[in-house]
Structure 1
Amino acid sequence: MPSPELFAALGAALIGFSIALWAFRAYRGDVKLAQPSYILLDQDTTSQGKRISEVRLRTALFSTSRRGVVIDYLTLWLRRGDEEVNFSIWAYLNKQCLRESGGLMAPNEGVILEHHFLTETEGPEFEFKAGPYEMAIFAKPAGSIRLQKLSSLYFVINDYQAQQMRKSAVGLCLRWDPRHRCYQSDIESNLKPSVTPLVEEHAGGH
């Protein structure tokens, strides 16, 4: 039978390991995303006539590390029933200039940016059809081999909204309702294309 001294030593070792793991995680830090209060679902068209779907959202990105965390990229997935699509092109608005990101620092105090996620120009077109959706946002921290899930959001597009979104310069605005803890949606018209140069750059590269 193990002695009490052995149990005490194992307990101390386990406590020491837990403290070291906590300290390592605190030093490395995790990436966090604040609840987006405004999301816009939109579509743009290339000069070749192909429609590219877009998700815009403005939110704060921060880390739990005092040193901050460098992010290689963000990516967004939309799921409706059995259909799932990846918005793999990521850009953000900085000083009124939309830039495709090659990395971003998430500081401890946070940074507020407008993020744009687009579907690939060479893949099949994605249409915002009626139904319930799940939106998941992931980050790839520099030096990590795994994606870190930042957020899961849920919303619904009704039949009328889906029909309206087939028109040019029409999108769907999702605003967070803290009272009911859900997104309320409204059609927005006369939208100005925000990602046309970026879309054309990708379309021309394939």
Structure 2
Amino acid sequence: MTQPTVIFFGPDAPRTPSEEGAPKIYLRTLLFSTSKRGRVIESMHVTLSRNEAKQNFNIWVCGESKLARGSGLYVGENGISANHHFLVPDDDSKSFRFRKGKYRLEVLAHILGDKNPKRLHFQDLEVTAELAAQLEEKGGGLYFDWGPDSEEYIPHIESRPPSPDLAEVSALLGLTGRSTGRAAKPRSD
């Protein structure tokens, strides 16, 4: 695996506007094989450690514009460049928060035919108190962009506005339903 050009800590896009997005790690990298025949990755996951705490991000989604659940990815000697999204499992892990501290991010892959997962990459990153506070704001995500001259990751926060709740917008506009394919008449009161 090559050095990721970008690493992201933050929320995934929520399924509904009223939900909060699950914690996610995103990275972009090139996977390659030194074997002439290539290798098949059965699954990938990220382990994130901070102090004594450790969280697995075991739901792997990859692709370019069309994302798909990762599984059975063939990696030849020419490599494959892709976006990789890692989410926490659908259990109590959704309460995980990116807090202030020094983190160790490890990318692991289970290669077809191998008994144990193989560590493809590890990276030490720091989330300052200021960055952690900004991450607590709704829609805030922390990007670590690789700086080739400094040879380190440069962190910055980007926020996206929350998606509007369509039911709430419809109610404000006086639209009560679309069961007939037409909007209801606005109320006159």
Q: TM > 0.5 between the two?
A: yes
- For the 8 Å contact 2:138–2:162, the answer to whether it is kept is no
Shift of 1:86: 0.2
How do residues 16-165 of structure 1 correspond to structure 2 at under 5 angstroms?
Answer: 33-44=1-12, 45=14, 47=16, 49=19, 51-94=21-64, 96-124=65-93, 125-165=95-135
Matches of 2:108 and 2:87 in 1, distance apart? 14
Where does residue 177 of structure 2 map in the other structure?
none
State the identity as a percent.
29
Cα offsets for 1:181-200 (capped at 9, x unmatched): 3211001111789xxxxxxx
Alignment RMSD: 1.8
Matches of 2:52 and 2:6 in 1, distance apart? 26
Number of residue pairs the alignment of both structures matches: 160
Where does residue 24 of structure 1 map in the other structure?
none
Structure 1 runs of 4+ aligned residues shifted over 6 Å read: none
Tell me which protein shows more helix as a share of its residues.
1
TM-score for the superposition, normalised by structure 2: 0.79
Unmatched tracts of structure 1, length 5 or more? 1-32, 194-206
Shift of 1:56: 0.8
Cα offsets for 1:136-194 (capped at 9, x unmatched): 0011111111111111101111111111111222100101123333211001111789x
Q: Which of the numbers 145, 151, 168 marks the counterpart of 1:175?
A: 145
TM-score for the superposition, normalised by structure 1: 0.72
Matches of 1:64 and 1:191 in 2, distance apart? 43
> Based on CA coordinates, which of the two structures has the bigger radius of gyration?
1
Matches of 2:20 and 2:117 in 1, distance apart? 30
